[in-house]
Amino acid sequence: MSNLVEFAKKELELAGLFDKDSDYNGMIGGAVLKMVKDFADEGHSGFSAALTMQAFDRVARFLPLTPLTGEDDEWMELCKDGAQPLFQNKRCFSVFKDKTGAYRNIHGGREIVTFPYMPK
């Protein structure tokens, strides 16, 4: 077992994430440990490990790896029957556009979006 896997297993145990009375009946610990084992099996160096984790973190959170362009093929229409059309970005689900322009819906508020746009 690699040092990373041993470290992760111990930390997950200390956090109680394998316990049946933890969130999702202890399944979080197993899920994380499986990902750590797969990651460790890849044998990354420090630099490639950081790049891999960065890319995984973004795509696992449904965030794009490259800036949104705002082109028509990035949008899907949500409301056709309403007074005004509403579109959602296919590459970043928190980005919308309506007749007023493009915006990101963050905690119920609007952040104006201009393209190219890279969500944080």
pLDDT tens, position by position, 27-54: 999 999 999 999 999 999 889 999 999 9
- pLDDT > 80? residue 80: no
CB contact at 8 A, 79 and 32: no
pLDDT tens, position by position, 91-108: 999 999 999 999 999 888
CB contact at 8 A, 70 and 80: no
- pLDDT > 90? residue 79: no
How far apart CA 8 and CA 2 sit, in angstroms, is: 10
Return the domain boundaries, the chain.
Answer: 3-60, 72-112
How far apart CA 41 and CA 5 sit, in angstroms, is: 10
Q: Which 8-state DSSP code applies to residue 68?
A: B
* Per-residue exposure over 47-85, b if at least 16 CB sit within 10 Å of its own CB, e if not: eeeeeeeeeeeeeeeeebeeebebeeebbeeeeeeeeee
Q: Which 8-state DSSP code applies to residue 91?
A: S
- pLDDT > 90? residue 120: no
- Across 61-83, average pLDDT: 91
% pLDDT > 70, the chain: 98
